């Protein structure tokens, strides 16, 4: 039997406290790859859809294994609608062929990632989280979203009737509680899956199905609220689909990975921009002509240049283009220009964000770049951003990461950062477990 919803909160969470309901994480019958029907489990996994670097990363994943999850999360077709239908057909075929099989009992899935460096371990729990609106205060978004991406993800989810990838959410429990105890106990049992991906990260997955353990875990999480660390577009997609289905199950929940960052702090990295239609020499010309920023060419290697960027006071960026190794530091923006271009009436922390200044001052006022997919690309990887700008004879704009404390403070104040301002990690691998929205019959209890 699946436990009922946990009891009401018995204590406040960190900061101003969770919303009136708290986090409601339910077990589900996960759809997983069947051992023996696929080769190395690592070969069927993928980074999240928005981290895959096209086209090189996509091709590498597609050729790694014929059943790689990238065929579902990033289906390829000239027409996006046909891509979504192709993903749905592929998912149905894999289930019919026995490549994917649904677990017999509902579970919460404990997930561990361990890197090669000492102490680089993260643990959390994957489940189906009840969807709450932005005014509830239980789940805190911190970034705006792009409507076209939400529309695409919604169409894919409708077609496949599945949550294909978990969102990454973080909460803080300063002292070990029942959630930590249940998670730790699960890791002392035999995992459902253990593999190591090409980046050196070891992944392990366990299923928690015991009624008492599930009740304890869910009740402990119910005392907290969470920050959306990665997956704003998928959260917005889930809210849209919930409303389309009038809040009916199973569309009233979304698959998430919840991580207690008091025990396992996340890394926050920047997301860089590539402007394929703006050559770097033209971008620098416009900056100099408007005296918007001080411009300096750096002769240092990339790592040293990034350290110089990190040390720059105030908003600052690194620019690169067609010429390999040619890096220019933009810093010391004109205060009068910032006053004219950065919207007033927002917190000082928001007005000082690099991403805020980039979009309002540089992209909109100085470069006049339209905010549309063909004009701005978002890349998590520095080397990939530089390579794309070089190939396109465009401009790569390298940004600095934002402190997690700043992200959380703005989110708690209800202030949205510009889209793609942060990249929290490590991100969960896609392909370890899928949440089907069209389930088969529940297996009887033993």
Burial of 151 (0-12, 13-18, 19+ CB in 10 A): middle
- Residue 446 pLDDT: 35
- What mean pLDDT, rounded, does the chain reach? 90
Higher-confidence position of 134 and 82:
82
Cis-peptide, bond into residue 326, ω within 30° of zero: no
Question: Is pLDDT of 12 > 50?
Answer: no
User: What angle is formed at CA 379 by the lines to CA 170 and CA 374, rounded to 5 degrees?
Assistant: 125
112 bridge partner residues: 123, 204
* Range from 20-24, 46-50, 395-399 that averages highest in pLDDT: 395-399
Taking each continuous run of H as one helix and of E as one strand, the counts in the chain are 14, 21
What count of Cα atoms within 13 Å lies in the side-chain half-sphere of residue 224?
25
Mean pLDDT of 5-16: 35
pLDDT, tens digit, 9 for 90 and up, residues 150-191: 999 999 999 999 999 999 999 999 998 999 999 999 999 999
The SS3 assignment for 99 reads coil
Q: What is the pTM of this model?
A: 0.84
Residues 6+ apart with CB under 8 A from 1: 211, 445
- Residue 152 pLDDT: 96
pLDDT, tens digit, 9 for 90 and up, residues 304-336: 999 999 999 999 999 999 998 899 999 999 999
- Residue 120 pLDDT: 87
Task: Please tell me the distance from the alpha carbon of residue 129 to that of residue 109, in angstroms, as a whole number.
Answer: 13
Give CA torsion, residues 152, 155, 158, 163, to 10 deg: -10
Q: What is the DSSP string of 331-361?
A: ES--HHHHHHHS-SSS-HHHHT-HHHHIIII
Give, in order, the Cα–Cα distances in Å from 348 to each of 50, 140, 351, 365.
30, 20, 5, 20
Give, in order, the Cα–Cα distances in Å from 374 to each of 147, 184, 358.
14, 46, 17
- Residue 373 pLDDT: 78
Structure tokens at 11: 């204590």
Q: How many residues does the chain have?
A: 446
- Residue 59 pLDDT: 59
Strands 272-275 and 327-331, how do they pair? unpaired
Q: What are phi and psi of 259, to 5 degrees?
A: -125, 130
Mean pLDDT of 192-197: 95
Which run of H or E residues covers position 254? strand 253-260
pLDDT, tens digit, 9 for 90 and up, residues 400-428: 999 888 998 999 888 999 988 988 989 99
Burial of 93 (0-12, 13-18, 19+ CB in 10 A): exposed
- Residue 58 pLDDT: 67
- Residue 182 pLDDT: 98
Reference 159, options 79, 216, 269; nearest CA is: 79
Task: Please tell me the distance from the alpha carbon of residue 138 to that of residue 125, in angstroms, as a whole number.
Answer: 17
- Residue 378 pLDDT: 92
Q: With DSSP H G I counted as helix, E B as strand and the rest as coil, what are the percentages for the chain, rounded to 5?
A: 35, 20, 45
Lowest-confidence range among 16-20, 32-36, 368-372? 16-20
Give CA torsion, residues 272, 273, 278, 282, to 10 deg: -40
Reference 353, options 316, 328, 385; nearest CA is: 316
Mean pLDDT of 251-263: 97
Longest dimension (CA), the chain: 75
Question: Is pLDDT of 432 > 70?
Answer: yes
Check if the beta carbon of residue 143 is closer than 8 Å to that of residue 268: no
Q: What is the DSSP string of 261-286?
A: TTTSPPEEE--EEEETTS-HHHHHHH
């Amino acid at each position: 039997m699946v436990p009922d919803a946990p009891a009401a909160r018995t204590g406040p969470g960190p900061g101003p406290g969770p919303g009136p309901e708290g986090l409601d994480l339910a077990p589900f019958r996960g759809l997983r790859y069947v051992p023996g029907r696929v080769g190395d489990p690592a070969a069927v996994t993928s980074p999240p859809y928005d981290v895959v670097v096209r086209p090189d990363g996509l091709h590498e994943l597609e050729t790694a294994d014929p059943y790689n999850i990238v065929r579902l999360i990033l289906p390829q077709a000239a027409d996006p609608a046909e891509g979504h239908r192709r993903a749905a057909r592929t998912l149905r075929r894999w289930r019919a062929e026995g490549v994917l099989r649904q677990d017999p009992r509902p579970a919460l899935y404990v997930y561990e990632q361990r890197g090669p460096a000492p102490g680089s371990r993260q643990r959390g729990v994957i489940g189906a989280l009840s969807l709450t609106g932005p005014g509830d205060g239980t789940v805190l978004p911190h970034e705006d979203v792009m409507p076209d991406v939400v529309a695409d993800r919604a169409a894919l989810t409708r077609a496949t009737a599945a949550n294909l990838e978990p969102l990454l959410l973080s909460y803080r429990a300063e002292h070990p509680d029942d959630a930590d105890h249940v998670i730790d106990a699960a890791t002392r049992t035999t995992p459902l899956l253990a593999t190591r991906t090409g980046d050196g990260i070891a992944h392990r997955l366990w299923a928690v199905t015991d009624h008492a353990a599930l009740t304890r875990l869910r009740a402990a999480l119910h005392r907290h609220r969470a920050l959306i660390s990665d997956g704003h577009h998928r959260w917005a997609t889930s809210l849209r689909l919930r409303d389309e289905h009038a809040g009916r199950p199973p569309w009233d929940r979304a698959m998430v990975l919840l991580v207690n960052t008091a025990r396992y702090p996340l890394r926050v990295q920047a997301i860089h921009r590539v402007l394929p239609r703006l050559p770097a020499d033209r971008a620098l010309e416009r900056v100099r002509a408007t005296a918007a920023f001080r411009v300096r060419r750096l002769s240092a290697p990339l790592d040293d240049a990034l350290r110089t960027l990190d040390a720059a006071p105030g908003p600052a960026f690194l620019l690169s283009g067609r010429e390999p190794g040619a890096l220019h530091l933009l810093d010391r923006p004109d205060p009068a220009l910032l006053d004219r271009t950065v919207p007033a009436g927002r917190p000082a922390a928001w007005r000082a964000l690099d991403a805020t200044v980039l979009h309002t001052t540089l992209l909109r006022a100085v470069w006049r770049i339209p905010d549309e997919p063909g004009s701005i690309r978002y890349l998590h990887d520095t080397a990939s951003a530089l390579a794309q700008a070089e190939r396109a004879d465009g401009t790569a704009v390298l940004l600095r990461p934002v402190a997690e404390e700043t992200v959380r403070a703005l989110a708690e104040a209800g202030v949205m950062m510009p889209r793609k301002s942060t990249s929290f990690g490590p991100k969960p691998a896609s392909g370890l477990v899928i949440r089907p929205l069209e389930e088969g019959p529940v297996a009887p209890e033993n």
